[in-house]
Structure formats: structure tokens, C-alpha cells
Amino acid sequence: MLARGLSPFSSKLSRSARPRHSSAHHPRASHTTMALNYPRPIELAPSAPHTSTFIMLHGLGDTGDGWSDIGYMYKTSLPGTKFIFPHAPRRPITLNFGMSMPGWYDIASLEDIQGGEDAAGLQESQRYVEELIQKEIAAGVPSSKIVVGGFSQGGAVALMMLRSNIQLGGVVALSAYVPLSKEQPLFSEANAKAPIFMCHGDADQTVAFAFGQRSFQLLSSIGANVEFQTYLGMGHSACQREFNDVLDFIKPILS
């Protein structure tokens, strides 16, 4: 099993500076508006005519580099697919005492992960991913051949994309949860039937397994086309079997 998630919501294989966190009470996320700088994403060009795109969003404190290896892992099976690994902008993170780091939105607590959510940050990240999608559409890729995936915080943003009016080919959420779950609708008419693949380790102590389960049950209860895969003994990380399962999910969509 690959050791990911060494810091809260991170997917980095290794990290020299681990963000601090504790079980002490944290103030609610600040939700402040700030100027955000988005570094140029990592892009892996297809080895055949470009017919589809997979966008993968990293976790808190990481960069697109943390997940770029899967592009090479999947490239042979998906020769016509372009892989995009965006970098989140740096922002203060309340959970880590205001330390500035790459993050798709602010978060205040792991215990109450859906309390005091940073709606503005989530909506801004949705806007940015839509911008990336529109560039792919302008390049001639049908939106139905675009899949958005993410790990942890990135997975939450991927699930936010179900609310987009751009029809997607599918959504992949690893070790994540549905954000802003009380703000209906959770998916747009365009994505009412979009296939969703959620994966979660039952030993996850960062984004609790129960959060993922409840999100799956919520989506199922409103008729979403969602599948949930459990990985026994896996913490806030990823494993080869999970990577294989993700490929099995996206290959029919992107081929």
C-alpha cells in the first residue's frame, strides 16, 4: 500500500514539514475572500489522438505532483486521454492554526468536518475546475469524455462538480465526502445520471470512514448513480487495488 496522507488531507508520498493539528478546539473557518494564485497544472499529453481528459485534484498541503504518477500508470490503458493535475492555491488553513499551504478551501476541524464549511472556497474551486474543463471542451473534447477525480479535500471538490451545469463523464472521490450537503440540489440536471465512484479505507482517521459512508448513503437516497468501495485496514491513503478499481471505472468512460 502506498503511504499517502501524511498530513491532514494531504496525498503527498513524503513531506518535510508536517502541518500541526491537535484535538483541541479550533475556531470556525474564516471564509474570507483573498487573491488566489493558481500555478500552471501538470499536464500529461495523450500518446494517441486526444479524445478524453482526466482531471485529478490533490489533498490539502500537497500539489499536483503528489498524484501525477497515476497518469503514467494509466497511460497505456488510456492512450487517448490527457491527464491534468492542478495545483491548489496557497491559503491560510484554520485547522493548522492559520498556516498558509496549498488548499482547495479552508477547514476548521476534522472532528466536525462538515461544520462551518468554507462555502466560498468550495465554490471558487468549483469555478476554477470548470475553467479547466471549458479549456478541454474548447480543444474539442466532449464534456461527457471528461472525468474529475480527487483525493480527500480534492475529492470533496470533485463531488462539488456534480452541481456544475457542465455535463461530466463521471466523478471519482477517494477518501472524501459530500461538501455543503445541506445545500440542495447536490447535483445539477446535467449531472443527474453522472456515474460516481467513491472509495474509502475503513481505518481512515483523517476523513472518517463514516463521513464517506454517510455521503454515499445521501447520494444514493436522492437517486445518484453512485458506487462505494471499501478498503479493509486502509487509512487516509491509497493502495494499488484502489488504483486498479479507479482505472476499471474510468476506462469505459474515457476510452
Strands 99-102 and 90-93 turn out to be: antiparallel
Strands 42-44 and 81-85 turn out to be: antiparallel
Residue 70 near residue 77, CB atoms below 8 Å? no
Residue 212 near residue 176, CB atoms below 8 Å? yes
* H-type alpha helices, 96-140: 119-138
- Of 62, 106, 118, 204, which one is the catalytic site residue? 204
Residue 186 near residue 164, CB atoms below 8 Å? no
Instruction: Mark whether 236 is an active-site residue.
Output: yes
CA distance 206 to 178: 15
Q: Is 101 helix (H, G, I), strand (E, B) or coil?
A: strand
Residue 136 near residue 121, CB atoms below 8 Å? no
- Of 26, 87, 200, 236, which one is the catalytic site residue? 236
- Of 7, 30, 152, 175, which one is the catalytic site residue? 152
Residues with a known catalytic role: 152, 204, 236
